[in-house]
Chain A
Amino acid sequence: MRPGYLTSGRLVTVLAVLVIVLAIACGVSLAFGSERVPVGDILAAMWARASGGTSPLSPEHSAIVFDVRLPRLALALVVGASLSVAGSAFQALLRNPLAEPYILGVSSGAALGAVLSAVVFAAAATGRTMSAFAGALVTIVVVYAIGEGREGAPTERLILAGVIVNAFLSSAIIFLMTLTSEAGLRGIYSWLIGDLSGSSDALWPIALVTLAGGTAIALCARSMNLLMLGERDARALGVATRRVKVVVYCAASMITAASVAVSGMIGFVGLVIPHAVRLVVGSDNRLVVPASALVGAAFLALGDTLSRTLFAPREIHIGVVTALIGAPVFVYLLRRSW
């Protein structure tokens, strides 16, 4: 990895470039879909919306762009950003390159909540989001209680606790699913492998959670840099390690819970985007955290565009796209830098 000596000028430059990349990704995502809507008309319609003029789009095309593509894009941005930030936080916190947002069982907790709502309460999709979030929160508390028994417990303990809880919950999910009919499970299956086409009702709460959690993690970025040296060294350098660990753990888990609750388990993003960002901009968390948010959002927006257009009007799973596109890109970055 590069030594990455971070100056404020470098920080601003990198983030400005990424904001432009993100804006392009958003434009592409809005412009393409299974239906062909002229890009010029979309821009004109946006201008018309802002200025109160008349839109050149037909009502159908207007609905396609603003009621179908736009909410979905917003969801992709929020989920992509939150998974990437959570991934970068867990990788720094656990000092483990394999750490990803789902490693500590949050996703399984959310999935169990969702499956419970479907199997036991036969709830509709709105109930699914709520119960998934509740399931994730309970899991966060349980994993922390198991993994952080006493002061200074090694982070490996937390990972093991997460892995064990994960295994337990996965089995509970499979058990519950065997009790249900397949008709009710089609939705769950797609949700489990990740799905952005669902309702955007929960968009604002999820966005708020992500913003709050992401800010908390970003504020801890300097302490996380020191934590990566090792916990004792960090403490010696004046970091309140326990407090930082609790804040980062809770914030990263919360934003993971929020995104899993609304979009299921979209794989790959949270693991690989932070690594890719580090390979390019260095490993200073003050830059890695916000850059991961921007790159993750842009990546998921583009991935979702592909999932909607490759086999249109059929849709393919976003998780498939993220891994098929992301893995080769990551390999390229890896080979280039080492």
Chain B
Amino acid sequence: MSIHASRPANNPLAVARGTDPDARPGGDPLADSRGTDHVARPGGDPLADARGTDTVARRSRFLGAVTLLVLCAFAVACARPAPPTGNAASEGRPAPGGTVAQDGIGATGTGAAATRNVVDDLGRSVHVVARPERIVSLAPSITEILFAIGAGPRVIATTSYCTFPPEAANTNKIGDTQKPDVERILALKPDLVLVSTASQLESISERLGALGVPVVVTAAKGVDGVLTSIERIGVATGDTDAATALTTTLRARIESVRATIAGRPAPKVFAIVGNEPLFTSGKGTFLDDLIRLAGGASITADETTEWPQYSAEAVIAKAPDVILVPLVTHGFAAQDSGVPKSIAATPAVRNGRIVKIDGDLLMRPGPRLVDGLEQLAKALHPEAYR
């Protein structure tokens, strides 16, 4: 946290990176931990003593290293309480080499070293350079958003799940969304890391933040929340105009769907998220939101868990008119395992109204949710689109 708040020109990490880009990996542990020490305490120097000890007792290097590590841990722990929003800039301290940055979205600086504060979906205020050139995305949805707003060429790394657009395959891969390789992320020297709560463990963003990497978190709820996330990401990457243009188009398309289906009776929809056992979508998922926006009534919209395991007989009793099968490309739910026999006695199956849509369009909180919305609306209200 203290790293967020440190002034970039003074940030020893930046200096260290600039002067010694090839920090010996796996080399002298003492040197490494000394580096960490610098990073952890840019201002004060409580570790000077420790370093002195080190020079005196060169023979007990190991002991010194351990001591340093412990002290570093202590220093980091002490530095923690600095609130993420209370940063150098808002306290009025000028940032040498830059401008006094302002809080809030859209603040820009002059010059390469200038930073601004970007507020993310969690309300955290994060220092980000004016135009990040080395962006790391840790979620498929974020990767899609970055490419959609034209920041794609500056994305240097994504996760192994980031399959869209195809260009995302050309970036470095830093593992999957569950266990991103923190070391590799650090080695890539990103100036912006984007994390989504949809697929990201909170601990990763805290770890990266503590290591001095600017981390912006997206936590979109509902389709509307995704549009806000897109705009926030645009601000973070310096593509505000492109992001706004994108969300304007997306809003118009959502509105067009709404106008087309307005006044039509809502068919009852049952979504199959997993087949054996039967899993569906409850309240508060993107799927749930999309079904509503597309003019459908989910029969499981009252379920309080997001992905409840659901009873086949309850499905039969609720008699859905349409069964929605998001096609997922990995594992069991994939490969069109279709509709289980146990719910064959429903109007949807009798009338052959099984709707299959690419699951990425329905469950990834990115711009293609609107594609999914349009496909779903067409499937739920074919007469309206005739």
Q: Let me know if A245 is at the binding interface, CB within 8 A.
A: no
Which residues 88-120 of A sit at the B interface, judged by CB distance below 8 A? 118-119
Identify the interface centre among B275, B278, B313: most chain A CB within 10 Å of its CB: B313
Can you show 8 pairs from A to B with CB atoms below 8 A apart?
A: A60-B317, A60-B345, A71-B342, A181-B161, A181-B331, A186-B332, A187-B333, A195-B277
Q: Let me know if B105 is at the binding interface, CB within 8 A.
A: no
By beta carbon, the residue of chain B nearest A183 is B328
Report A171-203 CB contacts with B as 1/0, cut-off 8 Å: 000000010111111111011000101110000
Across-interface contacts of A233 in B (CB, < 8 A)? none
Q: Let me know if A135 is at the binding interface, CB within 8 A.
A: no
Q: Let me know if A278 is at the binding interface, CB within 8 A.
A: no
Q: Let me know if A219 is at the binding interface, CB within 8 A.
A: no
- State whether B345 touches A63 (Cβ < 8 A): yes
Identify the interface centre among B179, B310, B316: most chain A CB within 10 Å of its CB: B316
- State whether B311 touches A315 (Cβ < 8 A): yes
Which listed segment binds B: A21-29, A122-130, A158-166, A208-216? A122-130
Bound-state CA distance A197–B332 (Å) is 15
Which listed segment binds B: A7-15, A306-314, A322-330? A306-314
By beta carbon, the residue of chain A nearest B310 is A313
- State whether B314 touches A34 (Cβ < 8 A): yes
Bound-state CA distance A119–B279 (Å) is 19
In angstroms, how far is the closest chain B Cβ from the Cβ of A325?
A: 19
Across-interface contacts of A183 in B (CB, < 8 A)? 328, 330-331, 333, 359
Identify the interface centre among B273, B309, B335, B340: most chain A CB within 10 Å of its CB: B309
- State whether A184 touches B311 (Cβ < 8 A): no
- State whether B275 touches A187 (Cβ < 8 A): yes
Bound-state CA distance A148–B311 (Å) is 45
Q: DSSP majority for the A interface?
A: helix
Bound-state CA distance A59–B303 (Å) is 26
Across-interface contacts of B242 in A (CB, < 8 A)? none
Q: Let me know if A156 is at the binding interface, CB within 8 A.
A: no
In order of increasing CB-CB distance, the 4 nearest A-B pairs are A184-B331, A63-B345, A313-B314, A187-B332
Q: Let me know if A296 is at the binding interface, CB within 8 A.
A: no
Across-interface contacts of A33 in B (CB, < 8 A)? 311, 313
Q: Let me know if A275 is at the binding interface, CB within 8 A.
A: no
- On whether A118 and B277 interact (CB within 8 A), knowing A34-B313, A60-B316, the answer reads no
Bound-state CA distance A139–B337 (Å) is 28
Bound-state CA distance A308–B337 (Å) is 23
Across-interface contacts of B316 in A (CB, < 8 A)? 35, 60, 63-64, 68
- State whether B359 touches A314 (Cβ < 8 A): no
Chain A residues with a Cβ under 8 A of chain B: 33-35, 59-60, 62-64, 67-69, 71, 118-119, 122-125, 128, 178, 180-188, 190-191, 195, 197-199, 308, 312-317
Across-interface contacts of B176 in A (CB, < 8 A)? 181
- State whether A180 touches B276 (Cβ < 8 A): no
- State whether B332 touches A188 (Cβ < 8 A): yes
In angstroms, how far is the closest chain A Cβ from the Cβ of B247?
A: 27
By beta carbon, the residue of chain B nearest A316 is B309
Bound-state CA distance A105–B168 (Å) is 42
Report B320-354 CB contacts with A as 1/0, cut-off 8 Å: 00000000101111110100111011000000000
- State whether B277 touches A315 (Cβ < 8 A): yes
Bound-state CA distance A96–B319 (Å) is 51
In angstroms, how far is the closest chain B Cβ from the Cβ of A110?
A: 15
Across-interface contacts of B278 in A (CB, < 8 A)? 197
Across-interface contacts of B330 in A (CB, < 8 A)? 122, 180-181, 183-184
- State whether A184 touches B333 (Cβ < 8 A): yes
**Residue from the list A59, A62, A63, A184 in contact with B328, Cβ < 8 A:** A184
**Residue from the list A60, A64, A68, A118 in contact with B332, Cβ < 8 A:** A118
Across-interface contacts of B279 in A (CB, < 8 A)? 186-187
**Residue from the list B303, B309, B312, B331 in contact with A118, Cβ < 8 A:** B331
Q: Let me know if B178 is at the binding interface, CB within 8 A.
A: yes
Report B228-239 CB contacts with A as 1/0, cut-off 8 Å: 000000000000
Bound-state CA distance A6–B35 (Å) is 78
In angstroms, how far is the closest chain B Cβ from the Cβ of A241?
A: 42
Across-interface contacts of B147 in A (CB, < 8 A)? none
Bound-state CA distance A33–B359 (Å) is 31
Across-interface contacts of A180 in B (CB, < 8 A)? 330-331
Across-interface contacts of B335 in A (CB, < 8 A)? 122-124
Q: Let me know if B305 is at the binding interface, CB within 8 A.
A: yes
Q: Let me know if B214 is at the binding interface, CB within 8 A.
A: no
Bound-state CA distance A183–B319 (Å) is 27
Bound-state CA distance A64–B316 (Å) is 7
Which residues 130-150 of B sit at the A interface, judged by CB distance below 8 A? none
Bound-state CA distance A313–B305 (Å) is 12
Q: A68-B312, A184-B328 are in contact. List 5 more A-B contacts (CB 8 A).
A: A60-B319, A180-B330, A191-B277, A198-B277, A313-B311
Q: Let me know if B367 is at the binding interface, CB within 8 A.
A: no
Across-interface contacts of B345 in A (CB, < 8 A)? 59-60, 62-64, 67
- State whether A314 touches B309 (Cβ < 8 A): yes
- State whether B276 touches A198 (Cβ < 8 A): yes
- State whether A314 touches B310 (Cβ < 8 A): yes
In angstroms, how far is the closest chain B Cβ from the Cβ of A178?
A: 7
In angstroms, how far is the closest chain A Cβ from the Cβ of B2?
A: 33
Across-interface contacts of A187 in B (CB, < 8 A)? 274-277, 279, 331-333
Across-interface contacts of B334 in A (CB, < 8 A)? 122, 184
- On whether A63 and B344 interact (CB within 8 A), knowing A187-B275, A191-B276, A195-B276, the answer reads yes
In angstroms, how far is the closest chain A Cβ from the Cβ of B4?
A: 30
In angstroms, how far is the closest chain B Cβ from the Cβ of A69?
A: 7
Across-interface contacts of A69 in B (CB, < 8 A)? 313
Bound-state CA distance A123–B279 (Å) is 18
Bound-state CA distance A123–B331 (Å) is 7
**Residue from the list B310, B311, B344 in contact with A67, Cβ < 8 A:** B344
- State whether B275 touches A197 (Cβ < 8 A): no
In angstroms, how far is the closest chain A Cβ from the Cβ of B316?
A: 5
Bound-state CA distance A187–B334 (Å) is 11
